[in-house]
Structure 1
Amino acid sequence: MVGLASLALLGAAPAARPADLIVRGGTVFPGGGDPFVGDVAIAGDRIVYAGPHAAMPARRTIEARGMVVAPGFIDPHTHVGDDLSSPDAARRLIPAFLLQGVTTAFIGNDGGGEPDVAAVLGRATARPVGINYAAYVGFGAVRQAVVGAARRAPTADELARMRALVAGAMCDGAMGLSTGLFYAPQSFARTDEVAALAREAGARGGTYDSHIRDESSYTVGLKAAVAEVIAIGRQAQMPVHISHIKALGIDVQGQAPAIIAMVEAALAHGQTVTADQYPYDASGTSLVAALVPLWAQDGGRAALLKRFDDATLATRLAADMRENLRKRGGPAALLITEGAEKGRTLAAVARRMGVDPIAAAIATIRVHDPAVASFNQSQRDIEAFMRAPWVMTGSDASTGHPRVYGSFARKYAEYVVRRRIISLRDFVDRSSALTADTFGLAGRGHLRAGAFADVVVFDPKTYAPRATYEQPTLTAVGVRLVTVNGRIAVEDGRVAGVAAGRALPHRPTRGSCPSR
């Protein structure tokens, strides 16, 4: 192991300004280019040199021979917004990400992004954060604010109000509109309603990011849901991004090649379509979202609990939940990851209660709707999506799943080293440059002069996750150094306690914005 704490303090600097830090002699993967053995020099918050040899003085030099030096990784789909705004300064550092080399994250995904994007981005000023972040405005949050949880179309006035909220959020720095059309009440919206709001984001240079309406066979089916997201992008004339692309459940396993063909046909016709993926065969959701039919969720939790007590609905509700459980692979394939039943499968909960799995699920939901890990994907589909050049690395970081602490490290250890599905360069590029370039993060995702100094140095022999489904909060190992905006955030595999992150507002590239 290279002792990165050792440093060389050089003599008096010549007239040229010295670098603050030189990372010396590592194998540099610059992001979107061929790797080389060389140096990366940093002054202030910027890279001032990346090449074979930095012939400049430096206040500090860190030896990185044998290490991989890469742009800080960028996670395009997370749920760390509460962590970033926490009153706990240590929590705001996001150590689970830093110790994987992740220096930038997107929040507000799945339609949950707050409409007041100015406030979301402004929080970093009062409460400094450990990583950079960008934010979506969420279709779900906008619809909830105007229409509520009802299963109905908006009135003309309501639609106008929702469009105005999206336009305002874009003008305040949102990077686009996110949706979670699988989830009620977002699932109650028709395509034309979603497209109307997406056009407001597209008119201002934003991206349409979607947890699609169906990743399985719940409603319209996987293929139709992919067709819908592509159609919305075409109607709104904007790039589209498919969140955590997958084929979920036994009915659609094996459909990855067909989905890839649909996306590549859209690309061939000039559309911009990308996706992200986490490297696990279990998705993460809630027990309600996994099992309860959408009709029973109409009106929110209070209405659902009343339906549980309605004897006239019992047979229908149990039958629909049983069918959804079948699609998920049965009760042994649902692991509860929070609450009183944490660490038990639904099958184990049912045995403990002495009832069938559906009755056990209803009893659990009555108390709390817990997060679950749902084992529902095939390795063949995971690998097929991973090979697609338009699929980037993401975590979908959410409670109780090891993907929060391990996605980037697992993709490297499992799919670069062990399975050899993608190359090391592909891993780096699709974890940094592809994401930055796709979403217009100027100065991020590349190691080159003038770029922001977000850098990760990891040991290719030891970089790996430790998080498991049983112990999902174990941090990754093998990252030796991380800089965020030129400041050392991780050194010798330990979080340095430095809050060097920044909010990254998107600047509208076209369209009108009111003066603010």
Structure 2
Amino acid sequence: MPVAISRFPLRRSVAVLAALLPLAFGVSARAVDEPVALDLIIEGGTIFTGDDAPPQVGDVGIAGDRIVFVGRAAPHRFVAKRRIDARGQVVAPGFIDPHTHADRDLFHADARRWLNVPFLTQGVTTAVIGSDGFGGADIAAQAQRLRDNGAGTNTAIYVGFGPVRAGQLGEANRAPTSEQLDAMRAQVSRAMCEGALGLSTGLFYAPQSFARTEEVIELAKVAARHGGLYDSHIRDESMYNIGLKGSIDEVIRIGHEARLPVHVAHIKALGVAVHGQSGDIIRRIEAEQKRGLAITADQYPWTASSTRFSAALVPGWAVDGGRAAMLKRFDDASLQERLRKDMRENLRLRGGPEAILFSAGPNTKYIGRTLAEVAQGGDPVDAAIAVLREADLAIASFNQTDDDVRNFMKRPWVMTSSDSSEGHPRAYGTFARKYDQYVVKEKVISLGRFVRASTGQVADTLGLTKRGYLRSGYHADVVVFDPARYAARATYAQPTLLSQGVTTVLVNGELAVDGGEVTGRAAGRPLLRTPREGSCPA
């Protein structure tokens, strides 16, 4: 969708002060002589505030970048420059996506992508980047670039284990020296002092997968010292190495030994070897919660994951040293039996060649075809190696069951996330699909639970101040959607179709979506976490 980008300065007007000061000092609006001047009132919608309170029909008043009131207000108390009729629609806090790869768009050369339109049109007003351990440690520089460019959504940032480790060890499978570990600690500490949410890892992905648990714990301790959290694409969501259960145990160990909250990214039971294990994983996590560990998770509502083709099929030992080393091993006759045996097993875990769909990448001749179709009746491992010699493509991997997806979704500690990635419909339709499929059609969760898992619960988990709720004095991040129309349009065949049904989105009080149309206003801000007092140099 071609849109023009504009940026608006924050308005520090008399109207804003008039609206907020009475509230701050406990004075009702009735005590003010003149009606409070607002920029906007959203009228008559069904309001979900982001907590567990039942919905109410009422109004939301906004002045500048803040919410002034929520509920039923006497008309004479307020005057507004504009009123939006939200009767029959849902009014909620803007959704917060705790696990995205939106940095690909936010830092793209094409300025049109900075608006994060696929997110805005679902009602997402805050995106978290640096996920899966891929984010850089230059938090201040990233934040400044977001300010300079302008972004459609707010952005919170993790420091990524991947670049931190690669900066010391490259892509090699070896342990750091004490000096290298100290350098990694220092880099994580600087990132935390610059406002990172915490440490993110992607222990499934080489070279992060080469790190022992003890190494990760040492860096998690640094994040803990600054008041941050630990977020992880766990080492194994299937049975590639230590298994799903072993990987959950590893996260729990990291939380206990580093003494910080831990978060499991895009929780799932991936592949035929672990289908049905969701119940065991849920019981394990909830037992630890009862013991006092703060452990949470997020989830996307799709049965297909998305990753690099090499990560899905090539064993970890074969990617030691990076792509060039992998290609040499493809030509090493002494390794062929072991390589092909391991790749065949990984393909089995993924559900076979029919369950691998090439979804994005430089070789467009493969896009939209399954590995089985590419193999054309021949050996799928031969076909896989041939594809990988040309390029490493993104795939959609159909590897989960509906029952496991539903089981995780029902838990009160599981939040909504997109894990947005190129070639997968989750980037364009996760929140809308979760509502349409699992609230409306299947009734797996309630509308209130959907909103809570996408707003206030996420803000609380990530430590986002005055976000995630419709409350007086909070930042005016708001979504209004039509409950009869809100749905995803994106599919695996057409993954870039925008969602429908969102009529209004405000980001920091600015209209990002108005009447169902993207306005082009880039009102998003970097949301930097304040480090624990005394943990950083003065």
- The answer to whether TM tops 0.5 is yes
Whichever residue aligns with residue 126 of structure 2, its letter is T
Q: Secondary structure at the match of 2:80?
A: coil
Using the TM superposition, give the Cα deviation of residue 189 of structure 1 relative to its aligned residue in structure 2, in angstroms.
0.5
Deviations 1:277-332 (A, max 9, x none): 00000000011000000000100000000000111111111110000000000000
1:411-450 to 2 correspondences below 5 Å: 411-450=434-473
C-alpha separation in 2, matches of 1:67 and 1:260 = 34
1:355-374 to 2 correspondences below 5 Å: 355-374=378-397
Assess, with a 3 A threshold, how the Cα gap between structure 1 residues 511 and 176 changes in structure 2: closer, same or farther: farther
Counterpart of 1:20 in structure 2 is: 39
C-alpha separation in 2, matches of 1:510 and 1:61 = 42
C-alpha separation in 2, matches of 1:53 and 1:412 = 29
Using the TM superposition, give the Cα deviation of residue 511 of structure 1 relative to its aligned residue in structure 2, in angstroms.
5.2
Deviations 1:75-115 (A, max 9, x none): 00000102112243321000000000000010000011101
C-alpha separation in 2, matches of 1:313 and 1:438 = 46
Deviations 1:335-374 (A, max 9, x none): 00013200000000111xx631111111111111000000
How many residue pairs match? The answer is 501
Matched, 1:41 2:43: no
Q: Which ranges of structure 1 fall in alignment gaps of 5 or more residues?
A: 1-12
Q: Secondary structure at the match of 2:226?
A: coil
Matched, 1:377 2:410: no
Whichever residue aligns with residue 493 of structure 2, its letter is E
C-alpha separation in 2, matches of 1:268 and 1:257 = 17
Q: Secondary structure at the match of 1:441?
A: coil
TM-score, normalised to structure 2, is 0.92
Identity of matched residues, %: 59
Q: Which ranges of structure 2 fall in alignment gaps of 5 or more residues?
A: 1-31
Counterpart of 1:336 in structure 2 is: 358
Whichever residue aligns with residue 121 of structure 1, its letter is A
Counterpart of 2:49 in structure 1 is: 30
C-alpha separation in 1, matches of 2:340 and 2:460 = 47
Using the TM superposition, give the Cα deviation of residue 445 of structure 1 relative to its aligned residue in structure 2, in angstroms.
0.4
Matched, 1:324 2:346: yes
C-alpha separation in 2, matches of 1:54 and 1:205 = 43
Matched, 1:247 2:266: no
C-alpha separation in 1, matches of 2:94 and 2:458 = 11
C-alpha separation in 1, matches of 2:284 and 2:242 = 16
Matched, 1:51 2:71: yes
Assess, with a 3 A threshold, how the Cα gap between structure 1 residues 98 and 54 changes in structure 2: closer, same or farther: farther
Whichever residue aligns with residue 437 of structure 1, its letter is D
Counterpart of 1:148 in structure 2 is: 170
Q: Secondary structure at the match of 1:373?
A: strand
1:213-252 to 2 correspondences below 5 Å: 213-252=235-274
Q: Secondary structure at the match of 1:19?
A: strand
1:147-166 to 2 correspondences below 5 Å: 147-166=169-188
Counterpart of 2:519 in structure 1 is: 496
Q: Secondary structure at the match of 2:81?
A: coil
Using the TM superposition, give the Cα deviation of residue 510 of structure 1 relative to its aligned residue in structure 2, in angstroms.
4.2
Assess, with a 3 A threshold, how the Cα gap between structure 1 residues 92 and 81 changes in structure 2: closer, same or farther: same
TM-score, normalised to structure 1, is 0.96
Deviations 1:196-247 (A, max 9, x none): 0000001101010000000000000000100100110111110000000000
Out of 82-91 and 149-158, give the one that drifted further: 82-91
**RMSD of the alignment, in Å?**
1.1
Whichever residue aligns with residue 197 of structure 1, its letter is L
C-alpha separation in 2, matches of 1:115 and 1:328 = 33
C-alpha separation in 2, matches of 1:187 and 1:114 = 17
1:139-218 to 2 correspondences below 5 Å: 139-218=161-240
Whichever residue aligns with residue 36 of structure 1, its letter is Q
Counterpart of 1:289 in structure 2 is: 311
Q: Secondary structure at the match of 1:167?
A: helix
C-alpha separation in 2, matches of 1:470 and 1:165 = 42
Assess, with a 3 A threshold, how the Cα gap between structure 1 residues 419 and 159 changes in structure 2: closer, same or farther: same
Whichever residue aligns with residue 496 of structure 1, its letter is T
